[in-house]
Amino acid sequence: MTLRELIDIGGCNFLKCDCEGAEWTINPEDLKGVRRIELEIHRGRQSILPENPDLLTWIESNYKVRKIEKEGGDDGAYWHCFEQ
């Protein structure tokens, strides 16, 4: 199921996302109304899909974000996102 389909079923105000690179398929508009996001971002060899920088830009524009880079640097990061 897509995030949009899950939201349509029951809503979502807290999203925990660890989907091995499939996070890049999230449509930023589907995050409207989500108050908190815990997101593991996969990059490079850890991601099954190409990066979508528009997703990260949208999140940073709409949430207060605390980032923790993984030890490998380019491998990804953990983003803790809170509604502004």
Strands (DSSP E) contained in the chain are: 14-17, 36-42, 63-69, 76-83
Which residue ranges make up each domain of the chain? 3-83
Residues whose CB is less than 8 angstroms from the CB of residue 57 and which lie 6 or more positions away in sequence, other chains included: none
The conformation of residue 6, written as its DSSP 8-state character, comes to H
In whole angstroms, give the CA distance from residue 55 to residue 14: 17
Walk along the chain (84 residues) and give the pLDDT tens digit of each residue: 888 998 999 889 999 999 888 999 999 999 999 999 999 999 877 788 888 989 999 999 999 999 998 876 667 899 999 998
Residues whose CB is less than 8 angstroms from the CB of residue 18 and which lie 6 or more positions away in sequence, other chains included: 39, 40
| Cβ 7 vs Cβ 31: under 8 Å | no
